[in-house]
């Protein structure tokens, strides 16, 4: 993936951007609104800005006054404490690399927050951090209907097809999903995305990934129907047409002892964002999922 030489926003309104016409995808509309030309490069840049903000919290200047803690910051959701960081540092044996149990992977192995602040996925192009971040740009680009994705400048999604398989050894619960989805909504809001679009995205993410035992569903068209439930803990809401037999018993991830863990210590404190804003952390401020929104508005196949 290539990145625009400058990711400075061409237009940053102090308020929410104008209403999106229903025949233009969220990706195309906000690429044009924020970066002017609706090119593959600019679509990749938009997704980089939004996903990096989801991960490390708001870091771009100026912004529209929405504070985003980011998924690496501890917070609360629905009154429960949430801390997703250990899933990304290698502190938990929670990654699926095949087999019947999770393994420890440090996803902050290539610069941590620093390259993200520079609108990059990682310092180099062959690290766990690089592949995770670029796959997130690509995946969300597809979800948001980026019309130029697949052309030079913005690769099609190249990660695993089943979100269940990717996340199955994390044993995630509704508060963890809710916190993550809230950060996606806050990040979008921080760039001026209209509430109606934020809510449509939140509703889609909730119904696709936040329901236990969900039947195989197509998310990336070329990958076909796959098991997509990321929320698999007993406390997750049950999908309408639940196919629990397709899912394996939930395995809680075990902590990895510090001597074995790839988790860095003193020398790499800088891997983690140091100045994470905490105001409004995890307060579901955008009401994601509370409003019925058409998933159709999100998908363009
Ligand atoms: C709406 C919810 C979510 C979506 C759409 C989503 C999507 C994704 C995607 C596309 C990947 C890349 C897969 C690949 O490279 O093959 C990924 C990986 C990952 N996600 Fe999520 N995710 C969600 C929620 C969460 C939550 C709540 C956590 C909690 C910690 C999480 C932790 C991770 C981790 C650690 C990886 C790396 C997994 C690996 O490579 O083994 N995700 N996610
Ligand atoms: C969207 O609809 C408007 C009004 O109906 C039309 O003028 C415009 O060409 C359409 N745009 C696209 C990309 O289809
Ligand atoms: C994040 O956004 C808040 C609200 O606009 C702002 O006060 C803060 O300075 C931003 N943080 C960074 C690091 O840009
Ligand atoms: C990328 O990293 C993997 C695993 O560390 C290694 O086996 C491979 O040779 C590397 N590829 C390149 C092009 O550096």
Say how far apart CA 190 and CA 197 lie, in whole Å: 13
| Interval 99-112 mean pLDDT | 97
Residue 15: band (very low, low, confident or very high) from pLDDT cuts 50, 70, 90: low
Say how far apart CA 10 and CA 7 lie, in whole Å: 8
Interval 202-242: pLDDT, tens: 999 999 999 999 999 999 999 999 999 999 999 999 999 99
Whole-Å CA distances, 300 to 87, 144, 219, 256: 32, 8, 11, 42
Interval 115-154: pLDDT, tens: 999 999 999 999 999 999 999 999 999 999 999 999 999 9
Residue 16: band (very low, low, confident or very high) from pLDDT cuts 50, 70, 90: low
Among candidates 85, 56, 95, which has minimal Cα distance to 253? 95
Domain count, the chain: 1
Q: Which residues contact ligand 1 via a Cβ below 6 A?
A: 84, 87-88, 95-96, 105, 107, 131-132, 135-136, 139, 159-160, 163, 166-167, 170, 172, 176-177, 180-181, 205, 209, 230
Residue 96: band (very low, low, confident or very high) from pLDDT cuts 50, 70, 90: very high
121, 165, 202, 230: residue to mutate for ligand 1 pocket, most atoms within 8 A of CB = 230
DSSP assigned state of 212: B
pLDDT beyond 80 at 258: no
Among candidates 117, 94, 115, which has minimal Cα distance to 105? 94
Q: How many CA atoms lie within 13 A of 241 on its CB side?
A: 5
Say how far apart CA 191 and CA 26 lie, in whole Å: 13
Which pair of tokens denotes residue 131? Answer: 């592949």
Q: Is 21 in the pocket of ligand 2 (CB under 6 A)?
A: yes
Interval 285-295: pLDDT, tens: 222 222 222 22
Domain range for 130 is: 5-298
Q: Using the atom order of ligand 2, give the atom closest to the CA of residue 24.
A: 13
């Amino acid at each position: 993936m290539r990145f625009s030489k400058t990711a400075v926003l061409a237009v940053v309104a102090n308020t929410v951007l104008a209403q999106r016409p229903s025949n233009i995808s969220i990706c195309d509309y906000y690429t044009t609104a924020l970066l002017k030309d609706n090119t593959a490069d600019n679509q990749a840049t938009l997704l980089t800005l939004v996903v990096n903000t989801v991960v490390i919290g708001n870091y771009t200047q100026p912004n529209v006054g929405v504070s985003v803690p980011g998924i690496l910051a501890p917070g609360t959701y629905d009154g429960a404490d949430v801390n997703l960081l250990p899933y990304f540092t290698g502190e938990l044996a929670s990654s699926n690399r095949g087999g019947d149990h999770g393994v420890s992977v440090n996803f902050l192995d290539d610069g941590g927050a620093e390259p993200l602040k520079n609108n990059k996925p990682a310092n180099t192009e062959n690290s766990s951090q690089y592949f995770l971040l670029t796959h997130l740009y690509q995946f969300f680009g597809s979800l948001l209907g980026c019309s130029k994705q697949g052309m030079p400048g913005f690769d099609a999604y190249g990660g695993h097809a089943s979100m269940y398989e990717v996340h199955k050894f994390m044993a995630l619960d509704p508060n963890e999903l809710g916190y993550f989805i809230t950060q996606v909504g806050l990040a979008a809001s921080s760039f001026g995305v209209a509430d109606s679009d934020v809510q449509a995205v939140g509703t889609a993410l909730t119904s696709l990934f936040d329901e236990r035992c969900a039947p195989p569903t197509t998310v990336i068209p070329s990958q076909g129907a796959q098991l997509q439930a990321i929320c698999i803990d007993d406390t997750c809401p049950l999908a309408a047409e639940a196919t629990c037999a397709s899912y394996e018993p939930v395995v809680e991830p075990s902590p990895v002892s510090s001597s074995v863990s790839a988790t860095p210590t003193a020398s790499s404190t800088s891997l983690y964002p140091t100045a994470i804003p905490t105001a409004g952390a995890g307060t579901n401020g955008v009401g994601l999922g509370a409003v019925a929104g058409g998933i159709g508005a999100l998908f363009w196949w």
